[in-house]
Structure formats: structure tokens, C-alpha cells
Structure 1
Amino acid sequence: MLFFTKLKNLTLSYILFSSIFSITSMFSVANASGEALKLDDFKLVFSEEFDRFLSISPWGKNGSRWMAHTPWNGDFGDAKFSNPKNGFPFTVHEGILRIEARKNSEGKWKSGLLAANPKTPDFQLRNGYFEARMKLPHGRGVWPAFWLIGVDRSNYTAEIDVVEHYGHWPDRFSSKYHIWRAKFGGVNTNNYIRTYVPEGSLSNEFHTYGVLLEPEQLIYYFDRKEIWKVPRPKEFSMNFYPLVNLALGSGWPIDETPNPSYLWIDYVKAYSPK
């Protein structure tokens, strides 16, 4: 069934339910002209500014701040996420982290992912603001993202996608949330918004992407201006931790993807209410 409705600051929204795929979905369109974020009532509790040695290991077993794979071993996309090596896929220069995607000598794509080590509690928040400042790659097939995962995955997976960009559409990015229940015999829930920007601006300059987790709602920001506000699902009553990655594909062909491709990250920060 298909329903249409008007939403404040949104031009169009629809709700789609498909019993075939056991998915409940919502989609909206917006622009980045909402209310500006104020952090006066927040305190910085975590800051990764990439101005020193990158603390990372393949699986976080040495107490590293970051790990190079999803903690549940759920890597994805058409480029394999690589264990960190000297110069690939992560390099740090003058306070900027570069994640590189490229083909190896066998023609196979490799890339990189950072996941906060779940054993590091200071990088987890139930309520607060997460933000990353990034310059996204350009080109068809690139699929960078900054996202959050809820710590309790025993009955479902709670996911907040602060930004997800498909290089086939250089004039927009998506913000989403998901509740993945199908694995446990339930129905998945997906809700997302597309934000339109001047074409090429996401890869030509740095922007900030953030989400505020409040007890009753989620508020998404682009360059610290509100783009989306949604009720917080009851399944999101837990701590979340951040991930950032340069994936490829997501159903799009990668035969025209620039080799190499780069995601540039200035910082990842988390703020809690004072």
C-alpha cells in the first residue's frame, strides 16, 4: 500500500509497506535550511581529530580506539574492508584522515572502515550529539557513510545513518534510521530523507554531518542546520557508537568508479548534555 502525506519543511513523504520483503519504509525530501544547532548546553566527551597516531587494529583486541571491521563481522559493499597496513587504507596528514579505496594487483577493490571499539565506553552515548566533518569522494559507485549502531543487538539491530552518499547522485545525500528485525523473525523498519545540495559541493569542500539523540526524538543536521526531526523509536533506548567508512556499490555498478577514491575526515566528535 502507498500513502502520501505532507510534512513540515518537507516537500513529499510516502510510506511503503511490502509484505513480500517484510519491510516498513518511509521516505522524505528536504533541504538544509532549518534551525541552527546550539551546543551551549552540551559538553565534549569524545574527540578524534586525527592529529596523532591513529589507534586502530583489525578487531580491537589490543585496546585500540578503533577497529577496521564491524564488530559483528558484518562487512558489506563491493570493496573488501582491509586490515590496516602502512599507508593503506588509512593515512593521516596534518590532522586529516584519508580513507582510500583502490583496486589491488588482482583487480579486486579494497577500502577502509572505522568502527569505534565497543569496549570503549567513553565513545558511546544514549543521549547526545554525534558529528563528523568530512569531504566525500566523487564518482559513480562510491558509497561513503557516517553512522551509529546500538550496542544491544540481541533482539534486533538499531542503526542511525547520519549521512549516506551514493556517488551516482552528486546533488544529494541520505539520512536514515533502521530497525533490523527480520533476522529475528520480525519486520524491518526503514525511514529516510534525501537532502539536496549544489551538485559537486559534497566532494569539493568539507561539511559537518550530525545527529542529536534526545529521549523522545532524533534530529539530523547538515552544517549544523536541522534537516530532519523524527520521533525516537522505543527500540533506540540504548547507547550508540559511531562508524565511518568508504564502501562501494550498494546496488550501483562500480565499473566507472574512480581508482583510487578518497574519503577525507577532519574529525569525529561526541557531546553529552551538561
Structure 2
Amino acid sequence: MTIKFAAAAAAIFLACTAQAPAAHAEKTLDISNYELTFEDNFDSLDVSPWGPDTQWIAHTPWNGDFGIARFANPEDGFPFTTDDGVLRIEARKDNLGRWRTGLLASVNPEFEGFKQQYGYFEISTKLPEGKGFWPAFWLIARDERYSLEIDVIEHYGSKPDRYSITVHERYPFAAEKNQMTHHYVDIEPGELYEDFHTFGVDITKETLDFYFDRERVWSVDTPENHTKPLAVLLNLALGGASQPDASTPSPSYMHVDYVRVWKRREES
């Protein structure tokens, strides 16, 4: 997400590229030839600050926070609650006016946990309305030579008529190779706040095909450095390109119906 490696992003120039898509997937996604490999329907929540033995951790697997809100360790009733199969991630100000909120990652700092290289990754979510909110669903792969980040959705509360998709390629020892490929998806103003919608990416060796409510909205070539499995992250951040102000409601909530991942049967 634009940047989860926030300090690095400020220091490194990312070359933006406009790619013509390779062979398109079908406009409407058909997952009849896929099998489910990961599913959380949030009937309950298995989370801890750093793992190692829980399905989720409550921080990024590397070095903590980004944006202007601190990602809180889970405690009774905050920042995560589940009710009737829906996860609620809460953002609110503390007594000193500082924002606290929640993030979930499917791997721990040793990158142990759920990760997968190819397949279809999807979230069903309803987002909060208000300036400064920065909810996201994103994937990350890392090793000592590079990192790949796929932002399936980032939404800035100051732009209620769109959300963004971004693919980041970062090379710690060859910064001149860094790239960021970016796309905006236009929506009806307020549409993402009124009901649940699905956001997904179908990853193959050739293309990344992005979907909104199972309809394809963008495709790009799969980066050459995609050689490692991807972990899953979701969060309700604040800041980035959209700063909160006095009108930003506290508390506010990101609701998540499910997170699911599939793999094509021939890739099993």
C-alpha cells in the first residue's frame, strides 16, 4: 500500500509505468475450476500481536505501523470484534486525540502462516466514510533481494468516487529497478460505504487480473520478480494521501464479511 514501507517510500524514487495488459481473463470471473485454499468467515477471530501460533497477527510482519494511526494490539472489544459472521475493525481517537486502529496479516515476522503465489485472492468488505480513512486489502512477498506488493484496493476517504489498485516492485539493492504501476477505479460516490462489495485479484504467471464484484476492472503483466508466495493483509489505516480532520468520525468501522483465497485445480 502506498506505503507500507513508508520510510523507504519517502527516500526511493518509484518509476511509474503504464503497461498494456497481456491476454485478458474473462470479464466476469468464473471460479468453478478453483478450489478454496484459505477462508476466514469471521465467526470468531484467531489473532495475537505477533503470533506465532495464530491465524492472524495484528501488525505488519516487518516493522510495525504506517500512516498516522497506531495499529493496536488486540484487546477485549478493540480494535477487532466479530458478530454474526462479520469482522469489525474499529478506528478511534484515544483520550489524547491520537488515532488507534487495526490491521491483520496472515504471516508472522518469520513469514510463517498462510501465503500463496498464484490463484484468486478476495475480500468482501464495507468501508467507513470520512476524510482521512485509508482502508486496504493487499498482498506482499519478500526476500532479501526484493519485495513485491499488490494493493488490490486502497481507498482514500477524501476521494469517495474512486479507489486505487497498485503494483509495487522494490529492489533494496538495485533501487533503479523499482517500479509502481497504478490504476484508479471509478465508482458511484459513497457506493463503498453503503453495502458490502468484493475486491479481488486473479494471479497467474502471465497476468494480474483485478476484479470489483467479480467483474474485471484492470489487468497488467505479472512482474518478473514474482517468484515467491504472497501473504494477505487487510487494515483500516489513516493518513496517506487523505488526512483526517474535525469532521472525521470517531469511532468508525471497516466491516469484513470474509477473506478467501482459491487456487486453480491444475495448480494444486
Shift of 1:180: 2.1
CA distance in 1, matches of 2:164, 2:254: 17
| SS of corresponding position for 1:184 | coil
CA distance in 1, matches of 2:27, 2:150: 21
Equivalent position of 2:173 in the other structure = 184
Shift of 1:56: 0.4
Equivalent position of 2:73 in the other structure = 83
Contact 1:55 1:64 in 2 (8 A): yes
1:254 and 2:247 correspond: no
TM-score between both structures, scaled by the size of structure 2? 0.87
CA distance in 2, matches of 1:104, 1:195: 34
Unpaired runs of 5+ in structure 2? 1-10, 20-25
Shift of 1:252: 2.6
| SS of corresponding position for 2:175 | coil
| SS of corresponding position for 2:87 | strand
Runs of 4+ in 1 over 2 A off after TM superposition: none
1:46 and 2:21 correspond: no
TM-score between both structures, scaled by the size of structure 1? 0.86
Greater strand share, 1 or 2?
1
Equivalent position of 1:56 in the other structure = 47
1:37 and 2:29 correspond: yes
- Residue in structure 1 matching 2:209, options 213, 216, 219: 219
- Residue in structure 2 matching 1:140, options 124, 131, 138: 131
Equivalent position of 1:69 in the other structure = 59
Equivalent position of 1:264 in the other structure = 255
CA distance in 2, matches of 1:71, 1:222: 27
| SS of corresponding position for 2:193 | helix
Give the total of aligned pairs: 244
Shift of 1:163: 0.3
CA distance in 2, matches of 1:218, 1:168: 27
CA distance in 2, matches of 1:82, 1:203: 23
Within-5 A mapping of 1:157-172: 157-172=147-162
- Residue in structure 1 matching 2:15, options 19, 24, 35: 24
Shift of 1:27: 5.9
1:53-97 per-residue CA deviation (whole Å, 9 max, x = no partner) reads x10000012x00000001111420110000000000000000000
CA distance in 2, matches of 1:241, 1:48: 14
Contact 1:27 1:193 in 2 (8 A): no
Shift of 1:153: 2.7
Contact 2:46 2:56 in 1 (8 A): yes
Contact 1:101 1:246 in 2 (8 A): yes
Unpaired runs of 5+ in structure 1? 1-19, 29-33
Give the % identical residues.
44
